[in-house]
Structure 1
Amino acid sequence: MLLLVLILLLALILGGAGFAIHILWWVALAVLVLWVLGFVVNSGGRGGGRRWYRW
Structure 2
Amino acid sequence: VGARSTLMEMQDLLQRLTKVSIRQQQIVEHLATRQGRTEEELAALRTQTAEHLPLPDPRA
TM over 0.5, shorter chain: yes
Could you list the structure 1 runs, at least 4 aligned residues long, displaced by more than 3 angstroms after superposition: none
**Structure 1 spans left out of the alignment, 5+ residues:** 49-55
Match of 1:19 in 2: 19
- What RMSD in Å do the two structures reach over aligned CA positions? 1.0
TM-score by structure 2 length? 0.75
Query: Relative to total residues, which structure has the larger helix share, 1 or 2?
Result: 2
**Structure 2 spans left out of the alignment, 5+ residues:** 51-60
TM-score by structure 1 length? 0.82
Greater length-normalized contact order (CA 8 Å, ≥ 6 residues apart): 1
Paired with 1:31 and 1:18, the residues of 2 have a C-alpha distance of: 20
Larger Rg: 2
> How many pairs are equivalent?
48
